[in-house]
Structure 1
Amino acid sequence: MDNPIAENVLGTLGAVCWSIQLLPQIVINYKRHNTEGLQGSMMLLWAVAGVPLGVYNIVEEFNVALRIQPQILTTLSLLTWAQCLYYGKGFSIKKCIAAVVPLLLFLGGVETGLIFALKKAKSRGLEWPLILMAVLSAALLAAGVLRHYWDIYVHRTVRGISFFFVGIDAAGDLFSLVSVVFGPALDALGMIIYGTELVLWLGIFVCGGVFNFLPWLRDHSRKSEVPPEPVTLHPMPSSTSVFRTVSGTVVERRGRPRSAEAEN
């Protein structure tokens, strides 16, 4: 389905969603002064995933928006990873900068080199390097999200992640996926890259409904039948902390990291 207008419009929407997807999460981290429940490894995996994804999208000559999209993903992922280091690991701002900036420059250099190398390989009819880039990007993006599935399995709740962020990211995947469909040639690997992460994010929504919303709904129903009790929240609330869960029994001391509470 070769439709340049639809391809570019949808690709731009996908890039816009990926441009702002992590901003709600970054703001939430800043406001609560911790990143409990947010997987730093997920952010690092996404930052690295931007390299093969950028190489694939540029060499395959996707629309301009999809070429820029991976660069935004890497930059914002490293910024969020810096928050994990600062709030979660207790790094100073200088140490965070020293960790993030060289890594950003290194990833940018690797991507640039791979783009030139794979363009030359493609001109010679070699397809496996591009296939490798597609597989790596899909695997790294999926691995980042799967880290949250492990946290959900361990704690039986979705914590530390903004569902607003999840929705924006999933929308970015959807728009990008459909943009690939409207390209000059149907790119199956491009569809797999974006489709894999989209399915995993939909699973996070399902987990949020099962582990966060349903317990909150049952508790709310019981409250309507008995006198009100003190409200309890997660120790480290996510964007869904208004949903009480069975495990939530401690009220967070606003603005204080968990490590500071443990010392008192």
Structure 2
Amino acid sequence: MNLVFDGVSAGYAEVRAVQDVTLTIAPGEFVAVVGPNGCGKSTLLKTVYRALRPRAGAVRLGDDDVWAARRRDVARQVGVLGQDQAGGYDFTAREAVRLGRYPHLGAFDRLTAADEEVVAEAMTRAGAAEFANRALSTLSGGERQRVLLARALAQQPRVLVLDEPTNHLDPAHQIAALSLVASLGITVVAALHTLDLAARYATTIVALKAGRVVAAGPPLDVLTPAVFRDVFEVGGSVVPDPVDGRPRVLLRELGAPEDRKGNVSASNRRVV
């Protein structure tokens, strides 16, 4: 089912962090939402998993408005790894991951053996099984991040929303985490700061500036010198990886002649 942002505006108090965003994300796409700090990436993602109600427009999953649906029904469809998910520091890692199964249970149901298998598999895939019995309070930031990713996987969602999923992770676990979510075959929407990772793993990149979509499409169409300059205020280029040919992003200070060419125009903008 498609995930649709239909004229979505959202924000806090008098500030509209997201303004009139319209996007259609097809099933199975890996969409990286990129942009500078404060551009609205996290705000946009929060409208999907019911952490922040849009001020205007609608977010739909298939034919259902996620804000008109029951919270439990949305939780069965949408898994989340957010920036501000503490996870309950008194829990063990396994107990935290088990929470991912609760949207699928009735009010008085308990986890079954099948549920426990799902939890164990999610922890293994996220690289968190080795500290399953440790308290979250004893884990490093990167280890807690892997537990929270496992919890999202344990939900067995159709859409996975990730807000800076590589935060706190070392390079090996950054690559492992994004390779894993890219292999799941489900819709992934991830806010990413690292453009090189976005280019390497995403099928679609959405660039935001001041809460508006500046460009959206395949990585090579979006990550242009004009977008690097006008959205991120850096020079940049995309080159093929010499080993596997996938796109890699090279960034530099502004100043080279090629950095001053072109502007972000309507030709860069399209609905995905």
TM-score higher than 0.5: no
More strand by share: 2
TM-score when normalising by structure 1: 0.25
TM-score (norm 2): 0.24
Which structure carries more helix by proportion?
1
Structure (1 or 2) with the larger CA radius of gyration: 1
